[in-house]
Amino acid sequence: MSVELTPGLILILGALPVPLLWGRVRSIYLLALPVLAFALMLDTPNGVFGQLELFGLQLTTARVDGLSRFFGYAFVVAALLGAIYALHLKDTVQHVAGLVYAGSALGAVFAGDLLTLFLFWELISLASVFLIWASRTPQAYRAGMRYLVVQIGSGLLLLLGLLLHFHETGSLAFGHIGLESPGGVLIFFAFGIKCAFPLLHNWLQDAYPEGTVTGTVLLSAFTTKVAVYALARGYAGTELLVPIGAVMTAFPIFYAVIENDLRRVLAYSLNNQLGFMVVGIGIGTELAMNGAVAHAFADIVFKALLFMAMGAVLFRVGTVKGSELGGLYKSMPWTTGFCIVGAASISAFPLFSGFVTKSMVMSAAMEQDRFWVWIVLLFASAGVFHHAGIKIPYFAFFGHDSGKRCREAPLNMLIAMGLAAALCIGIGSLPEFFYALLPFQSEYHPYSPDHVTAQVQLLFWSALAFAILMRTGIYPPELLSTNLDFDWFYRRLGRSAAGAVGRFAARIWQAFAGAAAAQTSRIVEKLGSHYGSGGIPARMTQTSSMVFWTTVLLAAYLLLSYF
């Protein structure tokens, strides 16, 4: 039996001594752990490691190949950025939960069998919920409970699916699974829940905005991207993923435009970007797969940057409601600049990361003659520019002057945002170095004249449309309100239905209890009339009463003996 140390265990085991450290020692230690995990990945060649036999099952706890290594790089980058961003924190719970969460995500992408994947899958859920509860508000507690129920449900589906898959195939190897068997279907839905498929997505918009300032940055990076990796590993080329991903890109736009909470806008934007990845995995060609995983890496960085910018605003001002912000560029110029870089990246401006990753998926759709899919992706690209590329920086830092004045974000936050911004620009400006890390062999040149021209035109007309809508007053105003998505069915309709069922059950119980009480009263009354002072036994003499009861006991004994 050969057991190898996976990069994820460095972070998980490394979280144990964190409560014993403080000050600069703790800060240096927190930064060193992701660096050590990265060094281990660089030193580990492709291959299968950590093979062991457990209860007759052959497990592979560590498998390193191009796909797992690429996601491993992305997760280590996210862990390091998150650690830098949270250096000012003295909350040990968040530091420990963040390390275990990041380590579990790394463990999942390097898992070579479904049982190992399941263990890390559940540890991801348990660790991440503490980043929501760490806000220590009633809303965060309730959102965390709903989040945990959904995530544990995904794990149970995965467990049942892997058991069926093992029964059908006799193997737990985590490779291509497909939808040809009941086990494969259950595993597909387990992955779909974590990837926030349509109608299964509301846990994301419900829980992420309730997370802590620093915790939400990590939440945006790991859970859904582990699901993207799992889909790429197990369901590449599955046709059903194409329409699912297309819907994912389009529907969040409408909710994001009317949403007032800017972190919730980013949560919808995350759902939108996941759709591009899911479409690429569904198409399944080498170009499409490279586009899906490349966009996952880019999204981890620019979405973390946008969440960091909004987290800095929340940290300094105490709110991220669009209706309460505006004019913060005067107080937070560095944060404003970094937010604009993130907005340009997610909007796929030339020379920014989204331009060289998102276009790969769209080009793959056109190569496969999927015109209507390309149209939906084009619409989604324009939509994301509206709600994330323009709305986020405009309402937070520009727009009307809210009169709020504050200090700039702490230095460690600015350093984390600066590094993320540099990555966004570096990937977009020098894509050939980034493409060299991709797991599949495919040649792509993003800076062709027709692609640059088409994207600039799209961005120009989208910006013009936003300006016209704002000037004419047609653009939805930022209102203090709660927008219910599919969660209406369980947060409103479900609650009403549960209340109606409860009231109906209460009426039935009251009727039953009333009838039982009445019947009991009648029985007691009859017993009283028979055995009371005026009853037959009371009128018997002591001797006759003794004879009567002796006869009754003997008769009962004879009956019991007979049976």
| Same domain (yes/no): 132, 274 | no
Question: Is residue 113 predicted with pLDDT exceeding 80?
Answer: yes
Nearest to 186 by CA among 195, 177, 198: 177
Q: Is 235 part of any domain? A: no
**Which two three-digit tokens encode residue 433?**
């170095």
| Angle between helical axes of 353-367 and 262-283 (0-180°, round to 10) | 40
Residue 236 lies in a domain: no
pLDDT for residue 467: 75
> In the block, which residue shows the tokens 């490779």?
175
114 belongs to a structural domain: yes
Q: What percent of the chain has pLDDT over 90?
A: 61
Distance CA 544, CA 173 (A): 84
Pick from 186-200, 249-263, 386-400, 478-492: least confident: 478-492
DSSP secondary structure code for residue 176 in this structure: -
Please tell me the predicted confidence (pLDDT) of residue 493.
65
Query: Residue 464 — pLDDT band, cuts 50, 70, 90?
Result: confident
Q: Looking at the domain assignment, is residue 496 inside a domain?
A: yes
pLDDT(30) > 80: yes
More confident residue, 550 or 202: 202
Last residue of a domain, one of 442, 465, 486: 486
Residue 433 to residue 311: CA distance in whole angstroms:
31
Helix (H) or strand (E) holding 191: helix 182-194
pLDDT at residue 535 in the model = 58
Longest dimension (CA), the chain: 118
Give dist(CA 216, CA 94) in Å, integer. 11
Per residue in 414-429, pLDDT (tens digit) is 999 999 999 999 999 9
Helix axes 353-367 and 286-317, enclosed angle (nearest 10): 150
Q: Identify whether residues 9 and 23 lie together within a single domain.
A: yes
418 occurs within a structural domain: yes
Cα 204 from Cα 198, distance rounded (Å): 11
Tell whether 44 and 154 lie within a shared domain. yes
C-alpha closest to that of 111 among 262, 6, 238: 6
* Structure-token pair, residue 528: 């009283």
> What is the reported pLDDT for 2?
39
Average pLDDT score over the chain: 87
Q: Is residue 186 part of a domain?
A: no
For the cut 70, the answer to whether the pLDDT of residue 244 exceeds it is yes
Residues 421 and 455 in one domain: yes
Q: How far apart are the first and last CA of the chain?
A: 63
Residue 170 to residues 56, 173, 269, Cα–Cα distance (Å): 11, 9, 40
What is the model's pLDDT at position 1?
Answer: 33
CB 344 within 8 A of CB 302: no
| Whether residue 405 has pLDDT greater than 70 | yes
Q: Could you tell me the pLDDT band of residue 10, with boundaries at 50, 70 and 90?
A: very high
Residue 494 confidence (pLDDT) above 90: no
Q: Are residues 35 and 75 in the same domain?
A: yes
Who wins on pLDDT, 395 or 469? Answer: 395
Confidence (pTM): 0.85
Query: Of 447, 471, 486, at which residue does a domain stop?
Result: 486
Range of the domain at 147: 1-181+192-230
- Tell me if 419 sits within 8 A of 84, measured CB to CB: yes
- Residue 99 reports pLDDT greater than 50: yes
- Residue 548 pLDDT grade (very low, low, confident, very high; cuts 50, 70, 90): low
The pLDDT, as a whole number, for residue 233 is 96
More confident residue, 557 or 29: 29
Confidence category of residue 352, pLDDT binned at 50, 70, 90: very high
pLDDT in the model for residue 545: 59
* Per-residue model confidence (pLDDT) at position 248: 94
What was the pLDDT predicted at 100?
Answer: 97
Is the pLDDT at 485 greater than 70, yes or no?
no
274 and 293 inside one domain: yes
151 and 198 share a domain? yes
Q: What is the pLDDT of residues 116-126, one digit of tens each?
A: 999 999 999 99
In a domain, 165, yes or no: yes
Q: Measuring CA to CA, which residue among 346, 345, 379 is closest to residue 362?
A: 379
Query: pLDDT tens, 296-337?
Result: 999 999 999 999 999 999 999 999 988 888 889 999 999 999
Q: Please tell me the predicted confidence (pLDDT) of residue 3.
A: 43
The count of structural domains within the chain is 3
From 162-166, 349-353, 399-403, the region with the lowest mean pLDDT? 399-403
pLDDT in tens, 427-460: 999 999 999 999 998 888 899 888 888 888 888 8
Do 466 and 500 share a domain, yes or no? no
Of 466, 486, 506, which residue sits at a domain end? 486
Closest C-alpha to 455, from 306, 540, 547, 351: 351
- Do 147 and 286 fall within a single domain? no
Angstrom distance (rounded) from CA 62 to CA 72: 12
pLDDT at 177: 94
Separation between Cα atoms, residue 39 and residue 34, nearest integer Å:
9
- 187: in domain: no
Q: Domain check: are 224 and 280 in the same one?
A: no
Separation of alpha carbons 89 and 94, rounded Å = 8
Q: Are residues 472 and 545 in the same domain?
A: no
Same domain? For 474 and 348 the reply is yes
